[in-house]
């Protein structure tokens, strides 16, 4: 009965255009009242759930991404990829895939990746005569890599809600992210040859090294984060603070994308972006707290076991559910709504929570590029002034590739689990 009340209220309020943190907060408050729990308990959960040092890595990584985006780092990465991939047919498309993967390793956000790369690479591809729908498709789809390659904001949230080690989740995302990039690379290469896309003239070797030298400070950020965390030198939160400080330093000193007097404004904008997530996290965890007490996850496990669902059937059903939810909700809302129900049920159903984190995140990647609310679609439509239908047409082949990669991630766990098990053991 409570679940029905929650879902009716949740979707009703959501339809009215109410902010998600408010919808979750209002629903949780009503559930607390109806189940005779004091509301001060809900307020205590809100403030206690924010008192998490792991959660603090999120605003600090967002700060790093904001400095990078404002600092002109994207241009340095694009120049680097163009220098080394030039001379191949369709090289600008290939540059897009590789640049997005590199930028993803810096910023942890799909939309920021698509935005940063789109503003540079879209005009360049259109100028060289690439079909607009193809250019939009490759940028939008490649941008999604940002959410799975570490540092991933979605994986930080998953780690908090499902109580998993964030460094382990980061490692799990590397190979699936690279597989996705390789699939896109292959498709772009094939399409370029079939459609006779232009070839960029290769740069002389001296020029290539010059461009590489200029991109080195930007590449230092993911290197510092990864070596810091996996070398056991810093915690995830400390790594995020260092990433933010280094990003600010290189943006000011090397790339000079903004004046130092604008630094406080960039930080305020970053905290504002992170604030949208953190308020949802706080109210969603109140709901999650109620959900755990209500015994719904235990009922779910009982139901799945009673109906003799196998693990693969369960995973297939969850994939379908997440794809459907992705049509209506955005990434953070889906994660925080669904995970409190599913997380306690994973181990009893034979699913490793680390493996599941990447299945989940990959579903969210797909949600970012499929209609009607795929955010990357709207970002690209906005920066290109193209109709949304054209963006969708361009992204369709990549959507199919994403679904194939999802199936591989779901049904071949070693792809996800090999690296974390290699570093941390079983």
User: Segment 309-338, which members bind another protein (CB under 8 A)?
Assistant: 328-333
Residues numbered 365 to 394 that lie near another protein (CB under 8 A) are: 368, 372-373, 375, 378-379, 381-382
Instruction: Please report how close the Cβ of residue 169 comes to another protein at its closest, in angstroms.
Output: 17
Please identify which residue in 218, 274, 359, 369 interacts with another protein, judged by CB under 8 A: 274
Question: Which of residues 51 and 307 has its CB atom nearest to another protein in the complex?
Answer: 51
* Cβ count near 218 (within 10 Å): 26
Please identify which residue in 6, 10, 14, 315 interacts with another protein, judged by CB under 8 A: 14
Question: Which of residues 99 and 247 has its CB atom nearest to another protein in the complex?
Answer: 247
Contacts of 43 (CB under 8 A, 6+ apart): none
Question: Which of residues 145 and 329 has its CB atom nearest to another protein in the complex?
Answer: 329
Please identify which residue in 59, 150, 217, 340 interacts with another protein, judged by CB under 8 A: 59
253 binds another protein, rule: CB under 8 A? no
Residues numbered 103 to 122 that lie near another protein (CB under 8 A) are: 107, 109-112, 115
Question: Which of residues 260 and 303 has its CB atom nearest to another protein in the complex?
Answer: 260
Question: Which of residues 51 and 196 has its CB atom nearest to another protein in the complex?
Answer: 51
What is the DSSP code (8-state) at residue 1? Answer: -
Question: Which of residues 15 and 347 has its CB atom nearest to another protein in the complex?
Answer: 15
Half-sphere exposure of 155 (CA within 13 A, CB side): 33
Identify the CA nearest to 73 among candidates 100, 94, 93: 100
Please identify which residue in 242, 337, 351, 399 interacts with another protein, judged by CB under 8 A: 242
Alpha helices (runs of H) in 308-352, residue ranges in sequence order: 311-325, 331-346
15 binds another protein, rule: CB under 8 A? yes
17-22 long-range contacts, CB within 8 A, separation 24+: 20/280, 20/329, 20/330, 20/332, 20/333, 21/276, 21/279, 21/280, 21/282, 21/283, 22/283
Instruction: Please report how close the Cβ of residue 384 comes to another protein at its closest, in angstroms.
Output: 12
Identify the CA nearest to 332 among candidates 20, 111, 108: 20
Half-sphere exposure of 15 (CA within 13 A, CB side): 6
Dist CA 100 CA 349 (whole Å) = 36
The answer to whether residues 104 and 68 touch, using CB atoms and an 8 Å cutoff, is no
Binding string to another protein for residues 121 to 140, with x set by CB under 8 A, is what? --------------------
């Amino acid at each position: 009965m409570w679940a029905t009340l929650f879902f009716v209220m949740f979707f009703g309020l959501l339809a009215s255009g109410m902010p998600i943190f408010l919808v979750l907060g209002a629903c949780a408050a009503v559930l607390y009242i109806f189940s005779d729990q004091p509301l001060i308990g809900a307020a205590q959960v809100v403030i206690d759930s924010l008192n998490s040092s792991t959660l603090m890595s999120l605003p600090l990584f967002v700060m790093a991404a904001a400095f990078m985006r404002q600092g002109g780092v994207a241009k340095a990465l694009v120049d680097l990829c163009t220098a080394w991939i030039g001379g191949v047919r369709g090289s600008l498309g290939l540059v897009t895939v590789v640049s997005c993967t590199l930028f993803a390793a810096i910023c942890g956000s799909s939309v920021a990746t698509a935005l940063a790369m789109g503003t540079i690479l879209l005009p360049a591809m259109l100028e060289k005569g690439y079909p607009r729908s193809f250019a939009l498709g490759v940028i939008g789809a490649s941008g999604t890599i940002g959410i799975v390659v570490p540092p991933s904001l979605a994986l930080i949230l998953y780690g908090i809600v499902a109580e998993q080690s964030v460094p382990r989740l980061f490692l799990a995302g590397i190979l699936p992210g690279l597989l996705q990039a390789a699939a896109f690379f292959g498709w772009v290469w094939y399409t370029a040859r079939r459609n006779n896309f232009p070839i960029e003239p290769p740069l002389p070797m001296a020029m290539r090294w010059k461009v590489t030298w200029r991109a080195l400070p930007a590449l230092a950020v993911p290197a510092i984060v990864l070596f810091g965390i996996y070398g056991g030198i810093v915690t995830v939160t400390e790594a995020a603070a260092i990433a933010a400080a280094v990003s600010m330093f290189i943006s000011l000193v090397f790339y000079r994308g903004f004046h130092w007097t604008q630094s406080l404004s960039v930080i305020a904008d970053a905290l504002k972006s992170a604030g949208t997530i953190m308020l949802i996290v706080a109210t969603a965890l109140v709901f999650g707290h109620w959900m755990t007490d209500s015994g719904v996850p235990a009922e779910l496990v009982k139901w799945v076991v009673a109906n003799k669902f196998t693990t693969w059937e369960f995973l297939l059903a969850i994939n379908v559910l997440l794809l459907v939810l992705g049509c209506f909700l955005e990434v953070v809302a889906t994660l925080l709504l669904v995970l409190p129900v599913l997380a306690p049920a994973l181990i009893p159903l034979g699913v490793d929570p680390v493996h599941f984190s990447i299945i989940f995140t990959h579903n969210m990647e797909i949600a970012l590029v499929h209609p009607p609310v795929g955010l990357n679609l709207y970002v690209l439509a906005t920066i290109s002034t193209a109709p949304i239908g054209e963006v969708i047409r361009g992204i369709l082949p990549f959507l199919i590739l994403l679904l194939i990669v999802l199936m591989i991630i779901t049904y071949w766990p070693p792809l996800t689990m090999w690296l974390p098990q290699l570093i941390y053991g079983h």
